[in-house]
Amino acid sequence: MVATELRVIYGDTDQMGVVYYANYLRFFEAGRNEFIRAKGLRYRDFEEVHRLRLPVVEAHVAYKSPARYDDLLRVETRLTEVRRASARFGYRILRAGDLLVTGHTVHACVDLEGRVQRMPSALLDRLLPAEETDA
Rounded Cα distance between 62 and 134, Å, is 19
Q: Is residue 8 within 8 Å of 71, Cβ to Cβ?
A: yes
Phi-psi category of residue 96: left, alpha or beta, with phi > 0 → left and psi -120 to 50 → alpha: left
Read off φ and ψ for residue 31, nearest 5 degrees: -65, -40
C-alpha neighbours within 13 Å on the C-beta side of residue 8: 23
Give the residue numbers marked as catalytic: 14
